[in-house]
Amino acid sequence: MQQLEQLFEQLNKIILGNAFATKLAVVCLLARGHLLIEDIPGVGKTTLSHALADLFGLPFKRVQFTSDLLPTDIIGMSIFDMESKKFHFKRGPVFTSILLADEINRATPKTQSSLLQAMEEQQVSVEGTQVDLPDPFFVIATQNPLEQSGTFPLPESQLDRFLMRLSLGYPDAGFERQLLKQNGALKTSSRSAIFSPGQVTKLIEQVDQVHVSDALIEYLHQLVVATRSSERFVTGLSPRAGLQWMQAAKALAFIENRDAVLPEDIQCLAEHTAAHRLHCSDGADSALELQRIVQQVEVL
Amino acid sequence: MIRRIAKFFNIGLPPMPTPPPPHKLSRAILLQIAALVLIAMLTHFLIALPSVAAYALFICVFKIILILLGKQTPHKLVMLLLTLFSFALVLVVYGGWNGQRAGISFIALLTSLKFLESRALRDYYLVCLLLYFLAACSFLFSASIFNIMMVVLFTLGVTIAMVRITNPNPTPLKLGLFGASGIVAKAIPLAVILFLFFPRIQGSFGFLPSQESSDGFELSNSLVAGDFASAAFNTSPAFRVKFEGPPPANRNLYWRAKVMPYESRFNWRVAPPGLRDMQTSRRMHQQAKLTRGRYRYEILHEQTSDIFLPFLDYVVGYSEGQVLADYSVFIRQAKNSDFSYQGASSLRPNLPSAAPDMELLLRTTLQPTARTQSLLNEWRRTAPTARQRVQLVLNHFRQNDFRYTLQPPGLGARPLDEFMFETRAGYCEHYASAFTILMRWLDVPARIVTGYQGGELNSVGDYIQVKYSDAHAWSEVLIDDRWVRVDPTAAVSPDRIEVGMDAMLALWDGSEFTSDRGRALADFLNPGGLKRMYRSLGQSWDNLGYQWNKWIVNYNHETQKRLLENLGLDSHNSVYTLVGILFAGSGLLILLYFWQLVPKPTELSDAQKTYLKFIQRFKRFDLTKQRADTPNQFADRAMKMFPQQQTEIERITREYVDLRYAKSRGSLSTFKQLVKQFKLGPPTPSN
């Protein structure tokens, strides 16, 4: 627990004034989910990924997605070795624990989906065989909401694979001044790993131990059903969405040092775990409608 | 519309089901439907004229060929021509759409045409529904247990087809059978309830075209020698009788239907309605009671257009119709289906005949020929009294080589003369006619009675079955103002009366009675193993039909009324009561459906109820819990308003949250205790 506190302390020193976002990112990692950050460039997406990798002591790779990126650029390919006269599989950047897929919507759907299979199954197909990816495997994908030309927006089915979507936003004035003052001084200092890879796995396993009472399952189920019967959504939440929502709530409860999930956890995560999976038929903001539903479902 | 109403009442309707994407039917299913249509069209031959049925069959076979070739429908022009031709066919063959047969034939033709033009899923659904309707139509012609079984099987077949059509994935026949059996089984309780309680229509269906008369034999209102003999081999049942006690001996089983006093040249007629002695009839009607007499019985009569009902001689009580002075009972309107009635009889007439019309009873149009006249003169001389004359004539029949035959020879211009001196062979009607005329010539008032004699005792169902072959004619003579039954047939062929017509039929070898009469009769009375088994099997089958008719087919307005009375329902307007019950029932079902749609508060646990009590305390200080407020969030607000009671609120909330959400923490009793002790002081104005 102490280590977790230390982690957040360090993280919040690096990402100034965005404690909630950093918390959600950690929740996402501990819930074995993947994170989609939708924001403009330069607000610290890469910094956050780097910081997470460094502090958790996990290997980190980054792929800049472009329209000419090929699946082999992510997964890797077999290269003929002239000396041994054999094919050698050269592992791609996907073989890492934390992968930053920058501007994922700029790659072609084919490339996107090759990454998405890895996210879902935690393994990739290499020349017909399945190769496992390291555990934990955590993808942080970013996309730029402003640049619309030449992009391939992620389809709904693929958005559903991300546990959370969040945006970092601009830091507060105070924090931004502090950031400017520091001039990035913290960038390199005090970035030693807090956890060993084994400890991270243990943390994730501990998340599974968090208790979810029947009452809470009932509440979550009511919420999920309410999204399905809402007339404003094209479709409701999938069972996978419900499962992931619960897993995230468990991770949040764990971080908050509780042994059971509370309705607050569910409510708190509603927007970030569910809104990106829902679409209003009239094109309105699904987060607002979701908020309305959460307000209507009774908690007791 | 419904959605709008539901929205107004804030009822959350489930989302409208989207119609499933249409799927292609496999050839196996198409062939199954084809087989069903084929069966329907083949059975159509039973009721329709062959040309119409053959045309329907032709259309059906045409479609089957198309299916086998992998094609769907013929060209539109071909369809049009086929349809026009079927219109014309019905018009020409039946002369219009009037009448049951024409109507059903037309539906059958249209069904096969619809089948021919079917291409989409919904077309085949429609064909299946039409097949259901056709199956139901068969009840207009027969309500026998066999027919019902066939219809149930056919319905099951159609339901299997429906199940298989509905399923987008190919369904094996076996699975379809399971599904359909389930559906049909579920329908059975409803069918039973509707059968028992749905208001029976009193009388006949006014809106249905009248049924063509049944083609079975019926007792005619006149007797022409040779008529009955043609029915001698018609062994279909006329009626079945169940006696309350033991039935009388076979020789006393005279079932009177009609009395014929009018003679014209060896033919006999019943009294026309205007010439009946209605005064005596009314008096007898008033005295008639089912509780009188020695024998009480219930008769289940097959459908007949006859208005005279057979009763055991002599009737003293009846549940149906009106008795006439001559002990025959008639109803005003013939029934159009099987019907039952009760009767009571005694073996002797209880009333002396009231002022008989002597002139009529002695009148003959036939004049005796010379040799008959000489015979009559001799008889008149030797036998002065009526009683003696009866004996004399019977003895004459007995002693003079008269024969009883099922194939009587035809009679010419002088029928009585020929019968008495030349052919000397006849059926019951010949003997009865001859005897009655001879009696009249001998100045003894006499008349003919027709009806049935005997009947087969069905030991399985313990009832007597009377067949058309049991039809019989006998005489009645008036002696000392009382009518006495005289059966000349009994004088000629005692076996006919003592043993019954079935024995006669068993002895008959096609042209005459078998020569070894004694052994054959013994054989008939004590049949060998195989024959006995066959007979008891036949009796069991007949009993099944009898019970079926008695309880199912004959369940009518009256029996329903009786059932309802036994159930304590008002008998006077039972139909309205029933309709009311049915409407109320279906209304309730609809309400139940909507009730289920209304969002209901889920059952609250004890902890939740106690917590609600806790929240309730804050209400009067305008602090209410919003729906989405978690207990902790509510506690935060409450503690802000009531800082003094912070600890209690916190404690209660923690206990509740533990109870609800934590793993085996928190105790219900403590929580209840805490809430009970909790007293809310005045709020402190927040700073």
Is the CA virtual torsion B304, B337, B105, B180 positive or negative?
negative
Domain match, A279 and A139 both:
no
CATH of the domain at A266: 1.10.8.80
**Which pLDDT band holds residue B158 (cuts at 50, 70, 90)?**
very high
Enumerate the residues of chain A whose CB falls inside 8 A of the CB of residue B635: none
Question: What is the mean pLDDT of the segment spanning B367-377?
Answer: 88
Q: pLDDT tens for residues B229-262? A: 777 777 788 899 999 888 888 888 999 999 998 8
Q: Which residues of A215-252 are buried (b: 16+ CB within 10 A; e: fewer)?
A: bbeebbeebbebbeebebbeebbbeebbebbbbbbbbb
By DSSP bridging, strand B311-312 and strand B254-260 are: antiparallel
Contact A215 B660 (CB under 8 A): yes
Domain match, A232 and A284 both:
yes
Counting the structural domains of chain B, the total is 4
More confident residue, B199 or B466: B466
Domain match, A106 and A180 both:
yes
List the single residue in A213, A259, A297 with the smallest CB-CB distance to B660: A213
Question: What is the mean pLDDT of the segment spanning B481-487?
Answer: 87
Task: Check residue A103 and give its pLDDT.
Answer: 87
Enumerate the residues of chain B whose CB falls inside 8 A of the CB of residue A295: 626-628
What the block records as the tokens of A66 is: 């472009």
Task: Check residue B212 and give its pLDDT.
Answer: 44
Taking the CA of residue B686 and the nearest CA in chain A, the distance in Å comes to 25
Dihedral of the alpha carbons of B178, B182, B183, B187, in degrees to the nearest 10? 150
Lowest average pLDDT, out of A77-91, A94-108, A187-201, B60-74, goes to A187-201
Tell whether pTM > 0.80.
Answer: no
Taking the CA of residue A189 and the nearest CA in chain B, the distance in Å comes to 40
Instruction: Choose from B3, B660, B664 for mutation: most chain A CBs within 10 A.
Output: B660
Q: Is the pLDDT of residue A120 over 50?
A: yes
Output the CA–CA distances (angstroms, integers) from residue A87 to A79, A81, A83, B140, in the order listed. Answer: 5, 6, 10, 84
Residues in chain B: 687
Domain match, A169 and A222 both:
no
- Rounded Cα–Cα distance for residues A86 and B539 (Å): 93
Q: Is the pLDDT of residue B152 over 70?
A: yes
Which one of A24-38, B228-242, B274-288 scores highest in mean pLDDT?
Answer: A24-38
Taking the CA of residue B72 and the nearest CA in chain A, the distance in Å comes to 38
**Which pLDDT band holds residue B203 (cuts at 50, 70, 90)?**
low
Domain match, B119 and B235 both:
no
Domain match, A128 and A271 both:
no
Enumerate the residues of chain B whose CB falls inside 8 A of the CB of residue A264: 630, 632-633
Q: Is the pLDDT of residue B209 over 50?
A: no
List the single residue in B602, B608, B657 with the smallest CB-CB distance to A262: B657
Looking at the complex, does the CB of residue B597 fall below 8 Å from at least one CB of chain A? no
Task: Check residue B36 and give its pLDDT.
Answer: 94
Domain match, A251 and A164 both:
no
**Which pLDDT band holds residue B573 (cuts at 50, 70, 90)?**
low
Distance of CA A105 to the CA centre of its chain: 15
Task: Check residue B214 and give its pLDDT.
Answer: 47
Domain residues for the domain of B563 are 557-597
Q: pLDDT tens for residues B179-193? A: 899 988 888 888 888
Q: pLDDT tens for residues B39-56? A: 999 998 888 888 889 999
Enumerate the residues of chain B whose CB falls inside 8 A of the CB of residue A259: 662-663
The answer to the question of residue A274 being in a domain is: yes
Q: Is the pLDDT of residue A185 over 70?
A: no
The answer to the question of residue A37 being in a domain is: yes
Domain match, A60 and A87 both:
yes
Domain match, A100 and A163 both:
yes
Which residue carries 């073996």 as its tokens? B347
The pLDDT mean for chain B works out to 83
Domain match, A240 and A100 both:
no
- Please list the residues that pair with B264 across neighbouring strands: B267
The answer to the question of residue A204 being in a domain is: no
- Rounded Cα–Cα distance for residues A67 and A86 (Å): 31
Output the CA–CA distances (angstroms, integers) from residue B677 to B356, B613, B620, B652, B673, in the order listed. Answer: 107, 12, 18, 10, 6
Neighbouring residues of B192: CB distance < 8 A, sequence distance ≥ 6: none
Q: pLDDT tens for residues B588-616? A: 998 998 888 777 666 788 888 889 888 88
Distance of CA B390 to the CA centre of its chain: 47
Domain residues for the domain of A38 are 2-199
Domain match, B99 and B242 both:
no
Q: pLDDT tens for residues B623-640? A: 888 888 889 999 998 888
Question: What is the mean pLDDT of the segment spanning B643-647?
Answer: 86
More confident residue, A187 or B609: B609
Q: Which chain A residue shows the shortest CA-CA distance from B633? A: A264
Looking at the complex, does the CB of residue B666 fall below 8 Å from at least one CB of chain A? no
Asked if B319 contacts B290 with a C-beta cutoff of 8 angstroms, the reply is yes
Share of chain B above pLDDT 90, in %: 15
Share of chain B above pLDDT 70, in %: 92
Q: Is the pLDDT of residue B132 over 90?
A: yes
List the single residue in A267, A295, A300 with the smallest CB-CB distance to B608: A300
Neighbouring residues of A110: CB distance < 8 A, sequence distance ≥ 6: A71
Domain match, A159 and A214 both:
no
Counting the structural domains of chain A, the total is 2
Q: Is the pLDDT of residue A216 over 80?
A: yes
Domain match, B352 and B464 both:
yes
Domain match, A176 and A271 both:
no
The answer to the question of residue A187 being in a domain is: yes
Q: Is the pLDDT of residue B468 over 60?
A: yes
- Rounded Cα–Cα distance for residues B71 and B65 (Å): 9
The answer to the question of residue B262 being in a domain is: yes
What the block records as the tokens of A232 is: 């404003």
Contact B661 A298 (CB under 8 A): no
Asked if A62 contacts A99 with a C-beta cutoff of 8 angstroms, the reply is yes
**Which pLDDT band holds residue B208 (cuts at 50, 70, 90)?**
very low
Q: Which of A199, A231, A261 is the last residue of a domain?
A: A199
